[in-house]
Amino acid sequence: MAIQVTWLSHSGFALQIGAHRILIDPFLSGNPLATVRPGDLDADFILLSHGHGDHIGDAPAIARRTGATVVANNEIGGWLRAKHGLAHVHGINPGGGVRLAFGRVELTIAHHSSSLPDGSYGGQPNGILIKTDAGPKIYHAGDTAVFLEMQLIGDEGIDLAMLPIGDYYTMGIDGSLKAISLLRPKVVMPMHYNTFDAIAQDVALWARRVQNETDALPVVLDPGGSYTL
């Protein structure tokens, strides 16, 4: 089964896995690179890496409108229920996972921070590991520095990794190359760059370095662009 991966810009992705529509970190309002409005997106599931506004983004509004099931860490899950009245929420934590209609979703560690937009405690930041029933395994690193346990994630056999390359708030290009060597993904996509001046990066340089220094295939999408896995 083909899996279609669309980059919404920043750390936002839309996955189409069979009939299932999955959003990751849908930050559109206030995002200068976004090509779609939150009202244009349908979703059955929304996966969130951490509490920062550029990741929670439009998730509460999209979840309320579509009835999508949200997966996030336990604190964010509780906040979505209490503050936004969402009923379909899985609040999990690293080491655990949840079985959904398209496969299993697990949270991983990430080295970052995670306060929520209203200042509430957002728990620990996470990466997201998607083990699809169709076969491919997808790892979205969230916002993070490189960390040695990426080797364990790599041992799962990662088909597609989405990695931040923006520097400043997360790892930059050098860090992402180390991450690729630990994760050993077949395909790697850059994210969390060029949205703001502080995270401006030369993505063509990144792609050349991935090509020359790793075994992964770099896939650079334009905002709104898609890749079939």
Binding site for Mn ion (CB under 5 A): 54, 143
Which lies closer to Mn ion via its Cβ, residue 38 or residue 136? 38
Q: What are phi and psi of 207, to 5 degrees?
A: -65, -40
The rounded radius of gyration (Å) of the Cα atoms in the chain is 16
The option from Ni ion, Mn ion, none interacting with 10 (CB < 5 to 8 A, set by class) reads none
Name which position in 143, 146, 192, 221 contacts Ni ion (CB under 5 A). 143
Joined tokens for residue 134? 């169709």
What is the smallest separation between the CB atom of 112 and Ni ion, expressed in angstroms? 6
Measure the N-to-C terminal CA separation of the chain; round to a whole number of Å. Answer: 9
x/- binding map, residues 37-76, to Ni ion, per CB under 5 A?
---------------x------------------------
What is the smallest separation between the CB atom of 165 and Mn ion, expressed in angstroms? 12
Q: How far is CA 21 from CA 3, 43, 69, 152, 183, in A?
A: 10, 5, 11, 28, 26
Which lies closer to Ni ion via its Cβ, residue 48 or residue 71? 48
CA atoms within 13 A on the CB side of 83: 16
Q: What are phi and psi of 37, to 5 degrees?
A: -95, 155
The option from Mn ion, Ni ion, none interacting with 44 (CB < 5 to 8 A, set by class) reads none
Q: How far is CA 200 from CA 114, 125, 229, in A?
A: 22, 23, 27
Which lies closer to Ni ion via its Cβ, residue 21 or residue 52? 52
Q: What are phi and psi of 210, to 5 degrees?
A: -60, -45
What is the smallest separation between the CB atom of 62 and Ni ion, expressed in angstroms? 19
Which lies closer to Ni ion via its Cβ, residue 52 or residue 140? 52
What is the smallest separation between the CB atom of 135 and Ni ion, expressed in angstroms? 30
Q: Does 140 bind Ni ion (CB under 5 A)?
A: no
Q: Which residues bind Ni ion (CB under 5 A)?
A: 52, 143
